[in-house]
Chains A and B, each alone.
Chain A
Amino acid sequence: MVESFDITPADLALRGYEISKGAMIKETCFGLVINGKEEEVDRIVAALRKIDPDHIFVKDRGFPPGDARRCRANLGGARPGYNGLEFEMSILPYVSHGLEVLDKKDIKDIPPPEDPLEHPLLDIYKLKKLIDAQES
């Protein structure tokens, strides 16, 4: 998955083919699918990631490229599983920003996120902020 301002899936596919030794690379609607032997795929992924490490995201995929059971070309409409991918694509800019900041900033200076299992009482300062926002 590529969410970069500097590079497109087509550029990555070309670079991938330059260094590929037998792996199949297919440009898709949202990035690339690389299919081949495990070590070979890992090598290509590692090399491609270096081009824009904070904006290239990689995941395993069960289906091979162009598989008739999943490929949109055969099914029509959004492919199964695309809704999840589409949602996470809207989050990727925040994650990319996080990765960029982590490169420059010490991780110890970053506070932990809110614990989703805790349901704290409404903070008085947060309440004041809400009231002010309503009044203005």
Chain B
Amino acid sequence: MHRSPEMVKVFIYPATSLILSDMVARFGHTPLSSATAIRERIQTAGLESPPLQITPEEPKKGLKWAAVEVPAGVRGRMSLYGPMIEACEAAIIINDADLAFGCMGCARTNELIKFLVHQKDIPRLELNYPKNEEDGVKFVAAIKRFLTGLGGSK
């Protein structure tokens, strides 16, 4: 997405969420999602580590956010998410996102992502997925209010 200076970088959790990604862009800001981090790697020309271009360097980069005894899977994932958490200026977190559950690497990375976002002193919106139409209205209104409050939105 093309970025103008007044747009705020909003980290979304789950980082693959279609709904959050759409809402953030719709209300005039830049979503930081896993697609952006993945695209940087897989669409960069080179055959260093096909097919996904995740190299042994990634777990080393992950050391910035997770200790050396933490499994390489967590550190490798953090090399994708860590820079986004550092770059974000706001965050939206959906707490009952069972879809983000995966292997222990994913589960522990998810816990670490939430922890790091909570540690950061930035505006944060905590939500659950809507379960009916009434919830849907509150959900969208809460996101719109939050994003409009960040300033610079359409």
Contacts and interface: CB of A to CB of B under 8 A. Distances in A.
- Interface residue SS majority, chain B: helix
Interface in A50-87: 57-64, 67, 69, 81, 83-85, 87
B109 interface: no
B140 A99 contact: yes
A88 B42 contact: no
B82 interface: no
Given A60-B21, A88-B19, A38 B2 contact: yes
A120 interface: no
A13 to B, nearest CB: 19
Contacts of B140: 95, 98-99, 101-102
Interface residues of A, number: 41
B137 A102 contact: yes
B139 A95 contact: yes
A49 to B, nearest CB: 8
A103 to B, nearest CB: 10
Contacts, number: 125
6 contacts: A60-B33, A62-B38, A95-B140, A98-B139, A112-B145, A113-B130
Interface of B: 1-2, 14, 16-19, 21-23, 25, 31, 33-39, 42-43, 51-52, 95-96, 98-100, 126-133, 135-142, 144-145
Given A113-B128, A113-B135, 12 more contacts: A57-B19, A58-B21, A63-B42, A67-B42, A69-B42, A84-B17, A91-B19, A97-B136, A114-B128, A115-B126, A116-B95, A116-B96
